[in-house]
Structure 1
Amino acid sequence: MFAPFRPIIKDPALRLAAVLLVLFGAHAATMAPYVSALAIRVFGLSDSAYSAVLLVASVLSVSASVGLGILADQRANRRAIALGTSAMLIAGSGLVLAGDNAVVFVIANALILPLSASIFGQLFALSRLAASTHPERDRPAILSTLRALFALPWLMVLPIWAVVFDHGAPLTAIYPVTLTLGILIVALTLAFWPRDGATRWPDPKSGLTFRQSLREMANLPILSRVVALGTINGAVMLYLVVMGLVFAATPGRGASDTALYAGLLAGLEVPFMLALPVLVGRVSRTSLIWVGAALYALHLGLLPLLAPTPFVWLLTIPGAAGGAVVLTQPMAYLQDLLSNRPGAGASLMALQKLAGDAFSAAVFAIGTALAGYELAAAAGALLGVIGAGALWAMDRRAARS
């Protein structure tokens, strides 16, 4: 299990990616479980208004990720792009701390923090390039391990927040922490990210215009797979949206339960992720994704129903097993679709997220309008399973032709 860590520890670029993914994971673990509760319970946004914020943030995040991914392939200036996008982490948290009202919350979460999301794709583009200097048989394990490191902070950070909130701290206490994490990410990127044009691996400019790159990404076989994977990502995003609201609306539950549940789920995902390289290559990737989506759907669909009972904690097991798959294998699948262009491959991940966020926002808005969080969670779970089945069918049809 520890073998994949050896090349990461010895390789400076992979080591940097690992540290930054841990820090970015800590940032996500601090903010993601609480942002919906902050929007609705603290800053007074309605469910429909928050859905609109989610949609605007998704469009801006993906537009920036796609544009910057193409630009990184065109100019091979990945360090400069990583610095600019990670600086948005500081700007977003700093703005909410300075203003502390609904207007600045919306500006930060709809317009500023979405720009920082592309650092995730840039980190995996760097990881893929650095891993190319290692034997091919080791690369899937390296990339899966790096994704597991992003999940690791959820295990450590969220129990701390559970204790903090149990002692009466307001939800806005997360912002000084996210600001500090943003400063650390920018400082390490500035100090250790490989200089553009001076890397140990070849990183040639793509030679494609912006329009040619977009046309390549919009190819129907590629785009249809991105949309199918987007339904799975939508289930993940819907979990992050409804989890805090479900526990907040359940008598006897609250912010500490949100932290504990998310921490258990993310912590259990790590050993499952580290074990995945044993299955990759023995089971087709699309079959593995379908099974993972089904397990994740079980956890998401039952969460609002079991939240009042002690059995809710058992849902972390299928949720973690499914999450380990749906958070790692779609990324590798999408990067393989455009394997010669790491930036564009990272952009496909952003397009998948856009599709997922759009599905999530639509399901959340419709489900809560019709019947509450229970319907929203069940519909999102079902949609993810259908999308995974469609992906499996597309690949099987392509293999026969």
Structure 2
Amino acid sequence: MAQRPHGSKRTTSGITSPMFSALLRIIRDPYLRIPTLTLFVAGFTYASTLPYQSMIGIGEFGLSDGLYSMLIFAAAAINVAASVLLGILSDRLGDRRPLVLALTIAGIFGYGLIYEVRSVPVFILCVLFLIPVSNSTFSILFGSIRATTNEIAPREAVSITSTVRAIYSGSWALMPGLVGLYLAHSQSMMPAYAVAAAASLACFCLYFFFVPRSVGKVGGATFGEEGFFASLMRLLDPALMIRLGAMALITGTQRLSTTLSPLITTQMVHGTVTDVGFLSGAVAFLEMPFMLFWGAMLRRFHNVHVLVAGALLYSTHLTLVSFATETWQLYALVGINSCGAAAILCVPISYLQDLIADRPGLGSSLIAVNMFLSGGVAAILFAIGTAIGDYSETARVGVASGLIAVVLMLMLDGKRSKAATA
């Protein structure tokens, strides 16, 4: 988005409730409102297709399990590379409007071609290239928001970021169920990609019609102040890599739980597929208010402390799940599950951006890097856990990973966080 020119001052509203002041700030400020609304709509593209992509690729197009696995891994790697490269480019340009427009066009064609052509080569091409590149919109938009919030108080900035993440989660709470209801009466799941293409078109229209072109240098632009390779080398800084590793352990534990949840529900406590749907829906629904709650806490506490609290809550939930023997026990844990997951999903965004605070685009690209790493961590933990025991034992392996990550985070940033809150 075209950032506000330097020197433009903004005042903080005197709203007593921190939970709602961030939301009102987003609504009133177009430099926050349009990227946030675009993120919400962009969430429709992911939320309407990801739950059904494997069923379409394997079930409708006949891809083997191995080929589909390689396709998804390669697509994730391309998404990381695109996010990092485009993040660096966005910092040099400052004006992120052209990038968002180009990426949404990639989404229109990527999702639209799968729906219209319906062939294996087109599916592979789009899933491997067009869609992963289009998904870089996520980090570019968060980079735009970060460039704007860099001009305000840090505590308010992280609260705004968490609120934006909560709004984005709304698309995940809404779309899978709606698309699922429609597809229940359809012989093909392809219409999910038509929904995603329409959402990409809506994102394009939002930025094309409501975001003005920039004139001159704008906030967040670095131009030639740091070369491309110098920016890229900042990702190899040992201190940054250690923190990325610790963060990947925390978020990887959450992703492991997402994999284990339906397996424990149906095989360990003998629940039904309906229970799986109700449990996942309840968690997704409650995550939104909990994200707003954690956003309010970020005004009073450092993001590391909030993240550690969330990780400990989630580890407690995962420990209790590992001992569950009845379905009602899983339902009883929905609250603590949602509360801990909300912190793990929203707080890392501001933490990762802070690692390269002077480069909003490059810092936001770490979100994609973390998602890639956490997927690898979840796969490794799953392999270790299932090698030594059942799914309950695997959950306890995840708990150990989460606790190790908490210790690492406190060792790395705990003292600095205390100094910041003093």
Q: Does the TM-score normalized on the shorter chain lie above 0.5?
A: yes
Partner of 2:111: 93
Report 1:375-394 matches (<5 A).
379-394=397-412
- Stretch moving more, 207-216 or 50-59: 50-59
C-alpha change, 1:199 and 1:291, in structure 2 (3 Å) is same
- Unaligned 5+ segments in structure 2 are 1-18
Q: Is the 8 A contact 1:76 1:197 kept in 2?
A: no
Q: Which residue of 2 aligns with 1:84?
A: 102
- Give the structure 1 partner of residue 312 of structure 2: 294
Mean Cα displacement is larger for which, 343-352 or 260-269?
A: 260-269
SS at match of 1:327: helix
Change in 2 beyond 3 A, CA 1:293/1:89: farther
Structure 2: distance between partners of 1:308 and 1:179: 41
State the distance in 2 between where 1:243 and 1:140 align: 30
Aligned to 1:179: 197
| Shift in CA distance, 28/384, structure 1 to aligned 2, threshold 3 Å | farther
> Which residue pairs with 1:148 in the alignment?
166
Name which one, 1 or 2, has greater alpha-carbon Rg. 2
TM-score normalised by structure 1 residue count: 0.84
Aligned with 1:326 (options 323, 337, 344): 344
**Which TM-score applies when normalising by structure 2?**
0.81
Matched pairs, number? 400
The correspondence for 1:354, drawn from 342, 351, 372, is 372
Residue 157 of structure 1: which of 162, 170, 175 is its match?
A: 175
Q: Matched residues in 2 for 1:300 and 1:39: separation?
A: 31
Q: CA deviation at 1:142?
A: 1.7
Amino acid at match of 1:157: M
Q: Conserved in 2, the CA contact under 8 Å of 1:294 and 1:322? A: yes
Question: What is residue 230 of structure 1 aligned with on the other side?
Answer: 248
**Secondary structure of the structure 2 residue equivalent to 1:195:** coil
User: Measured at CA, do residues 185 and 106 of structure 1 come closer, stay the same or move farther in structure 2, by a change above 3 Å?
Assistant: same
Equivalent AA in structure 2 for residue 92 of structure 1: G
Q: Which of the numbers 70, 73, 83 marks the counterpart of 2:88? A: 70
Distance 1:57 1:308, change over 3 A: farther
Change (3 A) 1:244 1:81: farther
Q: 1:385 to 1:327 in 2, by over 3 A?
A: same
Contact 1:247 1:257 in 2 (8 A): yes
After superposition, what is the alpha-carbon deviation per residue over 1:18-41, rounded to whole angstroms, capped at 9, x for unaligned?
A: 211211223332233343454555
User: Which blocks of at least 5 consecutive residues in structure 1 are unaligned?
Assistant: none
SS of equivalent residue, structure 1 residue 339: coil
Contact 2:271 2:327 in 1 (8 A): no
Q: Distance in 2 between matches of 1:342 and 1:116?
A: 19
Q: 1:131 to 1:283 in 2, by over 3 A?
A: closer
Aligned-pair CA distance for 1:179? 1.7
2:38 aligned with 1:20, yes or no? yes
Instruction: Give 3-state SS (helix, strand or coil) of 1:340's partner.
Output: coil
Fraction of identical pairs, as percent: 30
Alignment match, 1:340: 358
1:2 is paired with a residue of what secondary structure?
Answer: helix
Give matches, 1:1-400, under 5 Å. 1-40=19-58, 42-45=60-63, 48-100=66-118, 103-134=121-152, 136-164=154-182, 167=185, 170-197=188-215, 201=219, 203-205=221-223, 207-239=225-257, 253-254=272-273, 259-280=277-298, 282-297=300-315, 299=317, 309-364=327-382, 379-396=397-414
Farther off after superposition, 7-16 or 230-239: 230-239
Cα RMSD for the two superposed structures: 3.5
Q: Measure the CA separation in 2 of the matches of 1:344 and 1:20.
A: 20
Distance 2:264 2:86 in 1: 36
Distance 1:182 1:152, change over 3 A: same
- Distance in 1, matches of 2:240 and 2:292, equals 28
Superposed CA deviations along residues 318-361 of structure 1, whole A, max 9, x for unmatched, are 22111221112111111112111101111222222221122234
The 10-residue stretch of structure 1 (64-73 or 185-194) with the greater mean CA deviation from structure 2: 185-194
